[in-house]
């Protein structure tokens, strides 16, 4: 796994961003991520997790770990996973469309979005990466700059 890894721990979710990764065996990727979380971030997962993996060919993967509160699950000394894979088109949410030169953008709920494939990955600093984009892509207005 020769990728770049970033981790956000928000509420009861652990979100792991993996760039430059090819589509490998998802169970192996999850196992490697869990080991790195423990070794480098001091985060040890125990219990039953639903892991939603968003995959974009231009960026990589985002893994969202949600601890499930199951009444019938008793073995909290280990980690068990339910993996869901979602192919996605990652977008960059930006505040001002003038921040980045582009020919096309999406407008939805008073926010601007750019396709990751249309920008240099170094420009990710100008906005927020959005990986769960199904609703945005269905309902957004596509704007083209002549």
The answer on 95 and 83 residing in a single domain is no
More confident residue, 29 or 117: 29
The answer on 115 and 65 residing in a single domain is no
The residue among 87, 115, 130 that closes a domain is 87
- Residues 81-107 have pLDDT tens digits of 999 999 999 999 988 777 666 778 899
Q: Please state the rounded mean pLDDT for residues 3-7.
A: 79
The answer on 120 and 77 residing in a single domain is no
Let me know: does 67 contact 106? Beta carbons within 8 Å: no
The residue among 50, 65, 87 that closes a domain is 87
The answer on 15 and 61 residing in a single domain is yes
The answer on 59 and 33 residing in a single domain is yes
The answer on 73 and 27 residing in a single domain is yes
The answer on 120 and 64 residing in a single domain is no
At residue 68, the pLDDT reads 85
Residue 20 has pLDDT above 80, yes or no: no
Let me know: does 59 contact 19? Beta carbons within 8 Å: yes
More confident residue, 71 or 44: 44
At residue 11, the pLDDT reads 82
Residue 64 has pLDDT above 90, yes or no: yes
Residues of the domain holding 113: 91-144
The answer on 134 and 106 residing in a single domain is yes
Asked whether the whole model's pTM tops 0.85, one would answer no
The answer on 83 and 36 residing in a single domain is yes
The answer on 109 and 73 residing in a single domain is no
Mean model confidence pLDDT for the chain:
85
Listed residue (97, 108, 99) closest to 130, CA to CA: 108
Work out the percent of the chain whose per-residue pLDDT is above 70: 84
Cα distances (Å, whole numbers) of residue 27 to 40, 81, 85, 97:
20, 9, 11, 38
At residue 35, the pLDDT reads 93
More confident residue, 1 or 128: 128
Let me know: does 140 contact 105? Beta carbons within 8 Å: no
What is the total count of domains within the chain?
2
Residue 44 has pLDDT above 80, yes or no: yes
Q: Please state the rounded mean pLDDT for residues 108-115.
A: 91
The answer on 123 and 65 residing in a single domain is no
């Amino acid at each position: 796994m020769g990728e770049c890894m970033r981790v956000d721990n928000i509420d009861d979710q652990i979100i792991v961003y993996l760039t430059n990764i090819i589509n490998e065996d998802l169970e192996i990727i999850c196992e490697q991520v869990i080991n790195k979380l423990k070794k480098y971030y001091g985060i040890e997962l125990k219990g039953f997790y639903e892991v939603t993996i968003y995959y974009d060919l231009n960026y990589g993967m985002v893994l969202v770990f949600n601890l499930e509160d199951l009444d019938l699950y008793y073995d909290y000394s280990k980690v068990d996973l339910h993996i869901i894979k979602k192919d996605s088109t990652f977008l960059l949410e930006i505040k001002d469309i003038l921040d980045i030169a582009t020919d096309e953008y999406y407008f939805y709920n008073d926010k601007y979005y750019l396709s990751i494939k249309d920008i240099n990955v170094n420009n990710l600093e100008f906005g927020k990466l959005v990986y769960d984009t199904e609703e945005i892509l269905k309902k957004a207005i596509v704007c083209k700059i002549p």
